[in-house]
Amino acid sequence: MIPVFYGARFSLPLLAFWFLLAAWPFVSPALGKRIVGVERYFPLRTFVFLALWVPTVSQAYQWTEDPGNKERVAVGPYELLPVVDFLREQGPGQALLARKPHAAFMAKMRFVPIPEVDSPAEIRAYALKEHVRFLLVSGIELRMRAQGIRPFWTEGQVPGFARVFESPKALVYEVLPDKPGAQAP
């Protein structure tokens, strides 16, 4: 058995080749010689091109807006919008430790990727080294990096972190400084 994963985006490099192949009958000199008599009175190739192109483009556009299309452009991190609003209020320019950069980008923060670690203590050490103020933990981090992230979901208090925002799909923790009087990074 061969493991295969397919998504529409994997075909994008082939799009130019497909367009060239599809356009060839409309620019082919060999075909032009055969239908030159018809094209004196009626633009046959133009008509066929438009008859094929307009419904295809229309259907493709409708597919991008279809809520059932999991790859549509409008699909995004909607569950993180309350988190982004909170982070934006905390001050742009701060650093956010997260799995992907979209929340940091939308909150106008500096993105720092979560490293592969086995404990919250390792995450904290990395966050302090990188001068990170906030850690974003969502369900996807829990599924992908369960070992180091699970305590953030299951325990109320995680040493070195303070939970500062909670939504049904995501948690935001502030990285606490080492010294009691010091400010967060």
Residue 103 maps to a domain: yes
Buried b (16+ CB within 10 A) or exposed e, 145-181: beebbebbeeeeebebbeebbeeeebbbbbbbeeeee
Computed over every residue of the chain, the mean pLDDT equals 81
Res. 47: pLDDT tops 80 = yes
Q: pTM for this structure?
A: 0.60
pLDDT at site 96:
93
**pLDDT tier at 125, thresholds 50, 70, 90:** very high
**pLDDT tier at 140, thresholds 50, 70, 90:** confident
- The DSSP H or E segment spanning 151 is helix 146-154
User: Which domain covers residue 56, as residue numbers?
Assistant: 10-65
Q: Are residues 44 and 14 in the same domain?
A: yes
Alpha helices in 28-145 (DSSP H): 29-34, 36-39, 44-65, 81-89, 102-106, 120-129, 139-144
Res. 72: pLDDT tops 80 = no
pLDDT at site 97:
92
pLDDT at site 185:
52
**pLDDT tier at 183, thresholds 50, 70, 90:** low
Domain count along the chain: 2
Give the model confidence (pLDDT) of 77-111 as tens digits. 777 889 899 999 987 789 999 888 988 998 999 99
pLDDT at site 14:
79
Q: Are residues 83 and 171 in the same domain?
A: yes
Q: Are residues 21 and 99 in the same domain?
A: no
What's 95's domain CATH number? Answer: 3.40.50.12610
**pLDDT tier at 3, thresholds 50, 70, 90:** low
Q: Are residues 37 and 123 in the same domain?
A: no
Mean pLDDT of 6-22: 76
